[in-house]
Structure 1
Amino acid sequence: MAAINVLTYHYDTASTGVNPYETQLNPLNVKAPTFGKLFTTPVDGAVYTEPLIYTGVVIADGVNTNAGAPGLHNVVFVATEHDSLYAIDADNGAVLWKRTFLDTTNPGNNINNTLNATEIVPVAAYDVDSGTISPEIGITGTPVIDQGSNLLYVVPKTKEIIRGITHFVQRLHAINVSDGSDAATPFLIGDTTTCCTRNFFSSCCCLWWCNPFGKTINNTQIYVYGNGDGSILDPAGTGKRIVQFNAQRQNQRSALSLVSNHVYVQWASHGDNGPYHGWVLAWNVADIKGSTGFQLTGVLNTSPNNGMAGIWESGGRLVFESDGTTFYFASGNGTGGAPTLDLDGFPTNVNFQNSLVKVVPDPTTNVLNQNPNGWGLKIIQYFMPYNVASLDLSDLDFGAGGPLLLPDNIGAHPHLMITGGKEGKIYLFDRDTLGGFNSTNDNVLNAVNSGGHMTPPVQIGAALSTAAYFNNTIYWVSGQSDRAYAYVINPTQTALVVTSQTVINDFGDFPGSVIVSANGIIGGIVWIMDRRANQIHAYDATNLGTELWNSGQIIGDNLGSVVKFAVPTVANGQVYVGTRNSLVVYGKT
């Protein structure tokens, strides 16, 4: 049986994107015709999540399980925008079980219908006024697996008809990997209705007997104090205004995390259609199978007194320090322009749009005694580019790419981090001192003089993904009409230097994050998706100018339609890729 598991997005909590235990694939044997497509498994919707690999799983009989499937298997888990979760045999492509989150009857221990809906379907693109994910929206953020409890955590988004009214619902589920059933009652994150729904025949159809004037009602435990977009007067009678979680507008795009018995989930928007905010929620799941179940322990909002500032990172993730509590994320566009700062150098309106943010637990707060951005979690450092107002106006999200924590080093700045956004600048940080906001200069390690400002140089044609790190080298593919590059950090930690680049100079728009496979520090292969040609490419990690293989070399190896931000998974001698309607697997033929 294969032994390597891939249980989280980009392989680890630092988001390095590296599998250093790949003993079967190397630059000598990844070549046509001895390496190619092994099988394709059709699925019922687009796969925006990264496939996850869990070996040695005992599949049990149940309402979701296919005949003949019970027994020991290596499993690849795939989620779709049709609100389905598949457990597929990683070695032959057979579907072991399929869980749909659309069944209103709650068969077995499938807990879908907690609100007594008469119909549950995926959210349509027109429901959120955006075609960024189309034609339907279901599961978008990559799930995470807990090996200790054999549970997979996932957030489906659904449209539910309840007493004739359309509700938009998001829940967090804990799924048994053995049979796809729920291990606990799912947590209702939000249930939103406006009684105004869009359809193909009219711009807005409002039901006059409920929610006068299409007023939005959010049934949710998730709120923070603030007067930002969509805020209402606190129903609890505090006299304050609150910002609530809007299950229709919030897009659970980025990947889930599981660290120190806590599940973390974050949100952005559908096509910048408000009201929306950047949210991070945390749950303690140490007793998930017991009486406690999901215990909400933290709520953080990036824009409580304004709007936007979503956390999407092109499908990326929160990245964590080794202590398992301190984490970082990058946010997207906002409004309000350059901030006014308080005496501690923080924005007076506590809005963190287009920012890199450092967060720690805040046990001094709770839902009734909040800090400026929420409770249970607290922002302790941040970085915001000097030209934040221009980024906001031009839709140039700083947070279009996900951050990457680099291993500790012995230089002047032992704790480094990189990230980048739509401008194509790559920012190198000392994560002990992120830099805050300066209206003239960016206080980061690799800033150079540019137009009278100190700011990082443009080094890639838009960073709309998370870089990978292997053998002291950073690998990144452009998100728009440019090459993939390999970089090293110079000895003074003041610049990133290009060491190689691909011959291909256009991988299409939004090709997704780079993955590296290797056996320790040898045999490195860089895997890159290509949306222009609907292919996957393999490059020698020592020189991106050397292409080893691609899925277009032999007709039978065709990949099919690649969705944006697709991320391949490489493990145990095989490469797993989700497409618009299937899981495609490559290996030695």
Structure 2
Amino acid sequence: MRNFLAPFILALPSLCWSPAHAVDVLTSRNNLARTGVNDQEARLTPANVDARGFGKLWTLYADGQVVAQPLYVSGLRVDTTTNPAVPPVQGTFNAVVVATMHNTVYVYDADNERPGPQGRNVPLWAVWLGQPRPGGKDIDMFSTSDPEWGILSTPVIDAAKSVLYLVAWHDEGAQGYKYRLHALRLKDGSHAVPPLELQAPGLDSRRQKQRTGLTLVQGVLYIGFGGDGSRGLLMAHDAATLQQKTVWNVTPSGNDGGLWQSGVAPAADAQGNLYLMTGNGTFDAATGGANYGDSFVKLHLEGGNIVVKDYFTPCNQAFLATVDMDLGSSGPVLIPGTDLVFGAGKHPHIFLLSTNRMGKYTPPPNAGAADCPNPNALQDLGQAEHHHLHGSPVYWQGSGDPQIYLWRENELLHAYPFVRRRIVAAPKLGVDALPKGMPGGMLSLSSLGKRNGILWAVTPFDGDANQWRGVRGVVRAIDAQNVGRTLWSSEQVSARDRLGLFAKFVPPTIADGKVFVATSGDTEPLQFYGPPARPQQFPARYQVVVYGLLPPRPTETVNQPGKDVRLLRAATGPLPAIDLARCVVADGRSLDCTDELTRVARAPALERLLVPTGNTFAGCQLARVTVATSTAAMQTALAIGFYAADVTAGQFSADHGRRNPAADLKVTGQATLKGGQAATLHEFAGVVNCTLDANNRSELRFKPYIEFLGTAPLKLYHDWDPIDGNHALGGAVTQIDRSAEILQ
């Protein structure tokens, strides 16, 4: 047994806690509807989440892989003085709860780093629950979760924030492997009631996996089981006593039908109905049977039994089961304030259903059909590509139409508008491509009501996380109102913000200005472990990474020549009408029309456009400027900016060049540089040739730069287009074209 308590010998003083931005994440994906949204986030906004002001704050030590979503408890009263197994701590804290595959539960102060011995943060308390089940090829074909399996599912916390419920997989030596249900007091980590061994007809504690998050509804805990070759089970247990109330079998007279949902807990409504999606398995409910493979199922606890109240099964269920296209590779999402539920799985269809009349089953015209109509669904939205969905979609009621976000493997992020109780078939697409393979993007969203929406995505960075170990992860912050705009990435300043190893299926948790992201460790060589190979070395450190707003730090700017950005083309043309009513007052004598220039030109402004009061833009022309930027450099670039100045009668005005963050750039094409490197083309807009007086018109002198952030001591690097002097546009010069010089 590891000496997991050794780093935790320091007692913490009582701290003050401020409830100004209190929010709780007590269950899988934030709420029982499983929308994945924290709509009470007041600190993080699209305006302040960028690589200059947002990044990695610290890491929380763990003793094993973290495959359960971290939970967050605001204003938690901790008093461990009555539990001699942990160091004494008293106080009220915002706390983050971390559960590991080594069967350890940590409760950390979410607001303070608390460094301790060996570089490990000191938790408020930590409890080890017993030896986990060792890894094996019988449950882990590619050894991606070696060396052990302990707490696999996301725990749940009661509404009073007093008890944490979780299921741990135990190795009991000669007695074999067992699952135990634990109820831990959040104040000190002690057991509220003795742990209970989970038992049920059909439960194989050697092979079946308890991956779905726990659901707590009306005093009852629901615990789902799956696993290849094993029947799906849903257990109901009394939360006060942990005693079992009943068990529901997905395929009682058939095969398979596992409950896994890539870790997402079953959804639940206000009436206590549960909604889940099952995996491949036998289906015969339409002909009087009790088997519900590849189905949406609505359940309710009545008396001593879990009763099927309704269901929906795709017409091609037999085909799905034959080719391993689980409907239940993701979880259902209830749309708040409606009678609607939606979900998708490995097959490329999104189903929208009524919770009052789910639709049951319409047989296909041909037995075993790969595709067929589902008129019994409110909506069956398909697509041509057969890419799997894992985790769960996000549903957000933004300032416009509600949006449904999902990120399948081998695809771009999709954002579907939801209008008049239907999913609009033409989604908006993100811009960040994923490496080939599983499992796509794990999503969460933060906002302040309908404003400041940020979609947080954790994805693989360099490999297929289903078959390879050592796959790095990347965290992205994406503008929820415009998914083509990536605000920040943990790879932009990788030396500071790099995540570590990708934790399959785990969405990030966002609360009170911080983003908590689970990992499978810090680093490990990228390697394939097909049978019978097993890894012999493991990450030196397991951790949860904490991101947030960085404290202000002095920044030195280093200007130097470089070839990562170069002017490609520029030309003058008619200036679209600028609406002065849209400009903002800059001072008593001028208006700032920079944003208005960006709007009418449909390209970011390369300069700040200050217009004297009463100006009519006489003679002014639009300057369209295209730069060629190294595509590789754009992976870590913060911005593209410009030096820009007017020249009249031999006199330069002051520099009014503008910095445009990477998230706001306009991409107009792709190209290849002379050296063979890929290039991305970006377009910008300026104003030139304005009539200043009877003898003078303004000409433009400008030069682009690309901005990068260094590490300690913190420096900003501006790599400038390497030409001598500046580019000139205006007057007799109406265009510039350096394509032959720069591109192949």
TM-score bucket of the superposed structures, by smaller chain = 0.7 to 0.9
Q: Does 1:526 align with 2:455?
A: yes
1:70 aligns with 2:18: no
Q: Are residues 446 and 123 of structure 1, via their aligned partners in 2, closer, same or farther at CA, if it must alter by over 3 Å?
A: same
How far apart are 1:133 and its partner, in Å?
Answer: 3.2
Residue 458 of structure 1 deviates from its aligned partner by 5.0
**What is the RMSD of the two structures over their aligned residues, measured on CA atoms?**
1.9
**1:211-245 Cα shifts (integer Å, max 9, x gaps):** xxxxxxxxx3x23xxxxxxxxxxxxxxxxxxxx32
State which of 116, 133, 149 in structure 2 corresponds to 1:122: 133
Mapped pair 1:551 → 2:487: no
Alpha-carbon offset, residue 532 of structure 1: 2.3
Which letter maps to 2:153?
A: G
Deviation for aligned residue 1:308? 0.7
Is 2:236 the counterpart of 1:282?
yes
The answer to whether residue 160 in structure 2 is matched with residue 180 in structure 1 is: no
Q: CA deviation at 1:95?
A: 1.4
Q: 1:55 to 1:439 in 2, by over 3 A?
A: same
Does the 8 A contact of 2:313 with 2:360 survive in 1?
A: yes
What secondary structure does 1:391 align onto? Answer: helix
CA shift, 1:334, in A, is 1.2
Instruction: Please give the secondary structure, in 2, of the residue aligned with 1:245.
Output: coil
- Alignment match, 1:560: 500
Cα distance in 2, alignment partners of residues 36 and 587 from structure 1: 6
Q: 1:347 to 1:357 in 2, by over 3 A?
A: farther
Q: For the structure 1 residues 494 and 20, does the alpha-carbon distance in structure 2 shift closer, same or farther, using more than 3 Å as the test?
A: closer
Identity %: 32
Q: Could you tell me how far 1:99 is from its partner in structure 2?
A: 0.8
Shift of 1:459: 7.4
Cα distance in 1 for residues equivalent to 2:488 and 2:33: 28
- Which of 230, 245, 259 is the matching residue for 2:217? 259
1:391 is matched with: 320
In structure 2, the CA distance between the partners of 1:523 and 1:494, relative to structure 1 (3 Å rule), is closer
Corresponding residue number in structure 2 for 1:250: 208
Aligned partner of 1:501 in structure 2 is 429
Per-residue deviation, 1:127 = 5.5
Distance 2:135 2:291 in 1: 30
The C-alpha deviation readout for 1:459-488, integer Å capped at 9, x for no partner, is: 783221211111243343333111111112
| Alignment partner of 2:150 out of 128, 131, 138 | 138
Write the letter of the residue equivalent to 2:216: L
Go from structure 1 to structure 2 and tell me whether the alpha carbon gap of 1:125 and 1:63 turns closer, same or farther (over 3 Å shift): farther
Instruction: State the partner residue of 2:351.
Output: 427
**Matched-pair contact (CA < 8 Å) for 2:389–2:439:** no
Output the TM-score relative to the length of structure 1. 0.77
Structure 1 alignment gaps of length 5 or more: 103-119, 190-219, 224-243, 367-375, 410-414, 449-455
Q: How has the CA–CA distance of structure 1 residues 504 and 355 changed in structure 2, closer, same or farther, with 3 Å as cutoff?
A: same
For residues 266-291 of structure 1, the C-alpha deviation after alignment (integer angstroms, 9 at most, x for no partner) is 1111xx1x3x2111111222xx2xxx
Of 459, 465, 471, the match for 2:391: 465
Who is 2:277 aligned against?
A: 330
Matching residue of 1:412: none
Aligned counterpart for 1:474 among listed residues 381, 403, 410: 403
Task: Specify the SS of the correspondent of 1:277.
Answer: coil
| In structure 2, distance between residues paired with 1:460 and 1:35 | 36
Tell me the CA shift for residue 499 of structure 1: 4.2
Q: Which residue of 2 aligns with 1:87?
A: 107
Shift of 1:58: 2.3
- Three-state SS of the structure 2 residue aligned to 1:252 is coil
Secondary structure of 2:503's match? coil
Change (3 A) 1:257 1:312: same
How far, CA to CA, are the matches of 1:473 and 1:505 in structure 2? 24
Compare relative contact order (CA 8 Å, sep 6+) and give the higher one, 1 or 2: 1
Equivalent residue number for residue 230 of structure 1: none
Q: What TM-score, normalized by structure 2, do the two folds share?
A: 0.62
Relative to structure 1, is the Cα distance of residues 585 and 433 closer, same or farther in structure 2, using a 3 angstrom cutoff? same
Q: For 1:332, what is the secondary structure of its paired residue? A: coil
Task: Look at both structures and tell me which one has the larger radius of gyration over its CA atoms.
Answer: 2
- Is 2:377 the counterpart of 1:444? yes
User: 1:278·1:308 contact (CA, 8 Å) conserved in 2?
Assistant: yes
Q: Are 1:511 and 1:566, in contact at CA under 8 Å, matched by a contact in 2?
A: no
Q: 1:379 to 1:156 in 2, by over 3 A?
A: same
In 1, the alpha carbon distance for the partners of 2:60 and 2:423 equals 44
Tell me if 1:539 matches 2:559.
Answer: no
SS of equivalent residue, structure 1 residue 389: helix
Q: What residue is the counterpart of 2:179 in the other structure?
A: 170
Cα distance in structure 2, aligned partners of 1:25 and 1:402? 27
3-state DSSP of counterpart to 1:503: coil
Residues 32 and 496 of structure 1: CA distance in aligned 2, closer, same or farther (over 3 Å):
same
Q: How many residues align?
A: 475
Alignment match of 2:518 (pick from 553, 556, 578): 578
Distance in 2, Cα, partners of 1:301 & 1:506:
37
1:425–1:458: 8 Å Cα contact kept in structure 2? Answer: no
Partner residue, 1:99: 127
C-alpha contact 2:132 2:149 (8 A) present in aligned 1: no
- Report Cα offsets for 1:56-100 as digits up to 9, x if no partner: 222223344346x33222110001111111111111243121111
CA distance in 2, matches of 1:302, 1:121: 27
Instruction: Tell me by how many angstroms 1:386 deviates.
Output: 1.1
| C-alpha contact (below 8 Å) 2:394/2:406 kept by paired residues | no
On the 8 A contact 1:14/1:320 being kept in 2, the answer is: yes
Change in CA separation of 1:462 and 1:330 when aligned onto 2, cut-off 3 Å: same
User: Which residue number in structure 2 is paired with residue 202 of structure 1?
Assistant: none
Query: CA 1:557 to 1:512, structure 2 compared with 1: closer, same or farther past 3 Å?
Result: same
1:298 aligns with 2:246: yes
Say if 2:29 and 2:35, in contact at 8 Å, map to a contact too: yes
Task: Determine if the alignment matches structure 1 residue 514 to structure 2 residue 443.
Answer: yes
d(CA) in 2 for partners of 1:127 and 1:439?
Answer: 35
Asked whether the 8 Å contact 2:346–2:386 carries over to 1, the reply is no
Other structure's SS at 2:194 match = coil
SS in 1 for 2:226: strand
Q: CA deviation at 1:186?
A: 1.3
Q: 2:226 aligns with which of 268, 287, 290?
A: 268
Task: Give the equivalent residue in structure 2 for 1:379.
Answer: 308
Distance verdict in 2 for CA 1:458–1:360, change over 3 Å: farther
In 2, the alpha carbon distance for the partners of 1:136 and 1:400 equals 23
CA distance in 1, matches of 2:140, 2:514: 38
Q: What is the CA–CA distance in structure 2 between the aligned matches of 1:15 and 1:265, rounded to whole Å? A: 16
